[in-house]
Amino acid sequence: MKEKLQNIREEALRALEAADVPEKLNDVRVKFLGKKGELTAVLKGMKDVAPQDRPKVGQMVNETRAAIESFLEDRRREMERVIREEKMKKEVIDVTLPAKKNMVGHRHPNMIALEEVERIFVGMGYEVVEGPEVEYDLYNFEKLNIPADHPAKDEQDTFYINKEIVLRTQTSPVQARVMEQGRLPIRMIAPGRVFRSDEVDATHSPSFHQIEGLVIDRQISFADLKGTLEVFAKELFGPETKTKFRPHHFPFTEPSAEVDVSCFKCGGKGCRFCKGSGWIEILGCGMVHPHVLEMCGIDPEEYTGFAFGVGLERIALLKYEIDDMRLLYENDIRFLKQF
């Protein structure tokens, strides 16, 4: 038995010495020390050893196991050291080289402008409401007092899915859906993407974004509308900003107006940015048409309200003095990293 254990020990040490990769070390461990290994087989044969010799044989087996495990660990450490040194030779780091800069992303200029507008109106007690981009003709046109023969319903201006479903041309349908719910009063803005059949150029796109606002309550007047938009303009463009309301026509409001703000570039004196007029058009607004209130289940004798709509891209173009709307969508990192 002693001679057999000695042979097992010498064979194991030779195998470990010959191993040149960690995988081969593991093969040697399994062969000699595993559940079906040679030392385990010796232990299973202890039943054939005389009872008085079993302690001595057991001790010899343990010594052999300890010797193999010790040499195995030494070979593993030596092999890991050699591998680590080879790896370090191949992965030389020059600490004098400049570090690699991480490309950290940030918000798109449209999103920066949207968050600022939302901050202003949420601060005035408004809630932000979203709605579907694929909308029924009923909500996109009919409930907004836009009849069947209106030019906006022409296929040259609107993307139709079928006769009853369109890609929304404005976010006003969200207002109609909220009014239908009958939970009054209403103070909301509806930001989102809209679609119109336009050619792509410096100021137009078939897909862009709008932010539309709505207030419905008792005794709401045009004075409330003017005060709200004046506060909005001063918060967005600066405390010295002035506003000007020009009569206009929208089917869903009466009376209606276009709103200009004094040029924040020249202070209203006239420059290239405002084309010499001293004023810049930013949005349309008006008092909600009584017929729109009726179609949405609200009594126009008891409630009044105002609505307004502004293009998100227009705000971004003005605020950051961008002269071409296409730059916002071309994903040119040289442009976007300026914001």
Residue 175: predicted pLDDT: 94
Do 161 and 102 meet the contact criterion of CB atoms below 8 Å apart?
no
- Indicate if the pLDDT at residue 114 is higher than 70: yes
Which range of 13-22, 72-81, 235-244 scores highest in mean pLDDT? It is: 235-244
Residue 264: predicted pLDDT: 78
Residue 49: predicted pLDDT: 64
Tokens of 205: 């796109």
Q: Kindly report, residue by residue over 255-287, the tens digit of the pLDDT.
A: 999 999 998 777 778 887 778 888 989 999 999
**Could you give the percent of the chain with pLDDT greater than 70?**
93
Tokens of 220: 């709401």
Residue 48: predicted pLDDT: 64
Residue 243: predicted pLDDT: 93
Residue 68: predicted pLDDT: 78
Tokens of 153: 């319903």
Residue 260: predicted pLDDT: 92
Q: Kindly report, residue by residue over 45-87, the tens digit of the pLDDT.
A: 666 666 766 677 677 777 777 877 887 888 888 888 888 888 8
Residue 44 confidence class, pLDDT cut points 50, 70, 90: low
Q: Kindly report, residue by residue over 196-205, the tens digit of the pLDDT.
A: 988 888 888 8
- Is pTM beyond 0.85 here? no
Do 302 and 218 meet the contact criterion of CB atoms below 8 Å apart?
yes
How, if at all, do strands 304-311 and 279-288 pair?
Answer: antiparallel
Chosen CATH of 109-336 out of 3.40.50.720, 2.10.240.10, 1.10.10.10, 3.30.930.10 = 3.30.930.10
